[in-house]
Chains A and B, each alone.
Chain A
Amino acid sequence: RPRSEPPFCPPGPGGVAVPRAGLKKYVLPPDYSGITFPERTKLKFMDKVPAVPKVRREPRRLRDIRGPSREATDFTQGQYGILALGGGYLHWGHFEMIRLTIGRNMDPKTMFAIWRVPAPSKPVTRKSLGHRMGGGKGPIDHYVTAVKSGRLVVEIGGRCEFGEVKPFLTQVARKLPFPAVPVSRDSLQQMQREEEEKRLNNQNPWTFERIVTANMLGMRKYLSPYDLQLKGRYWGKFFLKHRV
């Protein structure tokens, strides 16, 4: 009987019937009991240059961008955050943009925000413009922080809903040098669950991992030894979300 469900009314002889409202369902307000606010609710100011600037120029070491992140992959204090879906370097301009945008849009009395990335500490050298190659390594130009895919950049928490926080988090996420999305605790769990389900119900009997670990057809000649860990989901600094 379709009649027992309030939104579905079979149309009478005149045409489509307009559904009526049924019993009002009173929704309880959200429970913000288990939330502890840090001392300062706004984002801390990050220095352009660390307190002890580095004297020795460091090699480029791009492997700090490659692959999945091992730290700051899960929430600590807050409920919502920005998840990086690719690798990249954040410099002081990015930090200021994040700090000011979030500080402008959030209410410091009811919400708090914390950094999940350290201050820039990796020196990046740059040679002056218009010179030929050679003449040694250039001087230190600025400092950056390396971010790998799957890492949280900032965390927001407090007495707020995801819908309130999402607009300005998407605004910030669009401006970052790597692809990023705003996430909540639930949505992150959902993403991880979906990934796992995809991995389990894949109908393709040939997976990258299987072919690489068994070195089928001698494919390891064309692949990197790191592909054993990266399993075809990462290529350089990019994270291939559609791959299983």
Chain B
Amino acid sequence: LPFPRVPALSAARVPLSAGWLPALQFVRRGSKAVTRHWKAMHFQRQKLMAVTEYLAPRPAVPPRCLARRRETLEEDNGYAQLLRRQVEEVFRDNRMIAICQFNSMPGEDVVLMRHYLRKHNIEVKFVLNEIVRPVLSQSKYKNLLPLFVARNILLVSREAKAKEMLRVLRGVPQINLLGACIDDTILSKQGVENFAKLPLLETVQGQTVGALTLLPSQTSSLLQRGSAHLTALLDQHIHRLQAGETGSPAEPAPAQSSGAQ
């Protein structure tokens, strides 16, 4: 073998002075500490590396079974806040709010419909469900929440002109009325139709007033009914006597009795 054998120093004991032994004995066989290739580890070292491996923590309940905490949901941008404020304003200012399902319509049809509704002072508002739902759930309109699903529009107005609105919507097949909230009363589609069939408030008020004043107006005639009846009877009696008798002594007697009454 060409290479010289380096004597191993691992077993040599070299006391430099009496009673002094080096603590560490270096091994000078094999390759150096840092090699280009992966140096083979001593078996004991391999065992040590195997024993000291990383053990990941295993909780009793796996994290995927627990409910997820949505911590990053607080990214409230100003635009969403503005839209929410607008929705709150709409619900506060308008008397009639109708929610309709909005299917795809050609653009000009949308514009025409908005024009007809604007004539009756009804505005059309497009709302996003993800903004309306939190607003409604915190206000008193909680029962309107099931309506805000899929694409919808709001028809809002200050006066409750349900008849004109229904007439316009009947001409547009793509918009279906789902429900309405008129004067803080939630009405279904049937309820809105019934509401439209009702006469105007003024006429109803007039009718109520008339019904109420009907009885007082009859009071005077009721009180005078007895005397009026007697007068009528006596007049009839006079006529009969005049027709039956031709003598004058019958005239002063009923005239005196009618004057005494």
Which residues of A are at the interface with B, using a C-beta cutoff of 8 A? Answer: 3-4, 6, 20, 22-23, 25-26, 62-63, 65-66, 87, 133, 198, 201-204, 206-208, 211, 219, 221-226, 232, 235-238, 242-244
**A162–B145 Cα gap in the complex (Å)?**
43
B32: interface (CB < 8 Å): yes
Q: Which residues of A contact B35 (CB under 8 A)?
A: 236-237
Known: A204-B55, A243-B54. A225 touches B33 (CB 8 A): no
- B window 117-142: CB within 8 A of A: 128-131, 133-134
**A211–B52 Cα gap in the complex (Å)?**
9
B53: interface (CB < 8 Å): yes
The 10 A-B residue pairs whose C-beta atoms are closest, nearest first, are A62-B34, A203-B55, A244-B54, A222-B44, A204-B55, A208-B52, A222-B42, A22-B130, A236-B34, A201-B57
Given B39, B53, B129, which contacts A235 in the complex, CB threshold below 8 Å? B39
Q: Which residues of B contact A243 (CB under 8 A)?
A: 49, 52-54
**A223–B2 Cα gap in the complex (Å)?**
31
Is chain A's interface secondary structure helix, strand, loop, or mixed overall? Answer: loop
Contact, CB under 8 Å: B77 / A3 = no
B80: interface (CB < 8 Å): yes
Contact, CB under 8 Å: B55 / A238 = no
Contact, CB under 8 Å: A63 / B57 = no
Contact, CB under 8 Å: A4 / B133 = yes
**A25–B35 Cα gap in the complex (Å)?**
54
What are 24 A-B contacts defined by CB distance under 8 Å? A3-B129, A4-B134, A22-B128, A25-B75, A25-B77, A26-B79, A63-B34, A66-B33, A201-B57, A202-B55, A203-B55, A203-B56, A204-B52, A206-B52, A211-B48, A219-B44, A219-B45, A226-B33, A232-B48, A236-B38, A237-B35, A242-B54, A243-B52, A244-B54
Q: Which residues of A contact B44 (CB under 8 A)?
A: 219, 221-222
Q: Which residues of B contact A225 (CB under 8 A)?
A: 24
Q: Which residues of A contact B57 (CB under 8 A)?
A: 201, 203
Q: Which residues of B contact A223 (CB under 8 A)?
A: 45, 48
Contact, CB under 8 Å: B130 / A208 = no
Is chain B's interface secondary structure helix, strand, loop, or mixed overall? Answer: loop
Q: Which residues of A contact B42 (CB under 8 A)?
A: 222
Q: Which residues of A contact B32 (CB under 8 A)?
A: 62
B14: interface (CB < 8 Å): no
Contact, CB under 8 Å: B149 / A3 = yes
Report B9 CB to chain A, min CB distance, Å: 15
Contact, CB under 8 Å: A23 / B130 = yes
Report B125 CB to chain A, min CB distance, Å: 15
Known: A224-B33, A235-B41. A6 touches B130 (CB 8 A): yes
B51: interface (CB < 8 Å): yes
Report A89 CB to chain B, min CB distance, Å: 10
**A63–B35 Cα gap in the complex (Å)?**
11
Contact, CB under 8 Å: A232 / B49 = yes
19 extra A-B contacts, CB within 8 A, seeds A23-B130, A203-B56, A244-B52: A3-B129, A4-B130, A20-B151, A22-B130, A26-B77, A203-B58, A204-B55, A206-B51, A206-B52, A208-B49, A208-B52, A222-B48, A223-B45, A224-B33, A226-B33, A236-B33, A238-B38, A242-B54, A243-B54
Q: Which residues of A contact B48 (CB under 8 A)?
A: 208, 211, 219, 222-223, 232
B83: interface (CB < 8 Å): yes
Given A3, A65, A203, A244, which contacts B34 in the complex, CB threshold below 8 Å? A65
**A31–B126 Cα gap in the complex (Å)?**
35
Report A241 CB to chain B, min CB distance, Å: 11
Contact, CB under 8 Å: B133 / A3 = yes
Q: Taking each of A6, A63, A206, A235, which has the highest tally of chain B beta carbons within 10 Å of its own beta carbon?
A: A235
**A222–B27 Cα gap in the complex (Å)?**
10
Q: Which residues of B contact A206 (CB under 8 A)?
A: 51-52
Contact, CB under 8 Å: A23 / B83 = yes
Interface string of B60-99 (1 = CB under 8 A from A): 0000000000000001010110010000000000000000
Task: Name A234's closest neighbour in chain B (CB-CB).
Answer: B34
Q: Which residues of A contact B39 (CB under 8 A)?
A: 235-236
**A225–B129 Cα gap in the complex (Å)?**
67
